[in-house]
Amino acid sequence: MIDIDWLAVQMVCDGATIHHLTKAERAMVIRRLSDRMRSNASRYCTGLTSDDLALRLGVSIREIDRGKAELPEAQQRQCPVCHEPMWVIAGRVEAHPDRLFNECLMSGRYVRSGLAAERPDLYLWLEEASA
């Protein structure tokens, strides 16, 4: 897994200005703020613009727009382990922090779907067989 400073990511999401984030950390900031971001062309909607985020991260607006375009399509869910927001990309959980800003144990694992997601008690044998 990639080493990410989750506290720094959360601080930027909360409004702090931190200029020394890695590319992976910037991607995590963009992922978490993408639903709150709006177009720079719209002056009447409230929300965070690429300009604002670029100032927070100390990068160019073009780099923010490129980062948004490079992010793979993901489905946001609540993590069953840490109960924090997580993003699922093609059935695999993207790295995310727990409440103490440590990487969650669910990061990088595959999520269940169908009946296995609704009734995990029926699939306990699957966890024992894979251990």
Give residue-wise pLDDT tens across range 23-72: 999 999 999 998 887 655 555 556 788 888 999 999 999 999 999 999 99
* CA diameter of the chain: 56
List the domain range (segments joined by +) for residue 55: 6-70
* Any domain includes 39: yes
Give me the pLDDT at residue 24, please. Answer: 94
The DSSP element (H or E) to which 50 belongs, if any, is helix 50-57
* Any domain includes 113: yes
* Any domain includes 75: no
Distance CA 95, CA 28 (A): 9
Pair 33, 87 in one domain: no
If one counts the domains in the chain, the total is 2
Nearest C-alpha neighbor of 70 from the set 27, 19, 22: 27
Of 42, 70, 98, which residue is a domain's last?
A: 70
| pTM, rounded to two decimals | 0.78
Pair 11, 39 in one domain: yes
DSSP letter, residue 72: P
| Residue type at 17 in one-letter notation | T
* Any domain includes 31: yes
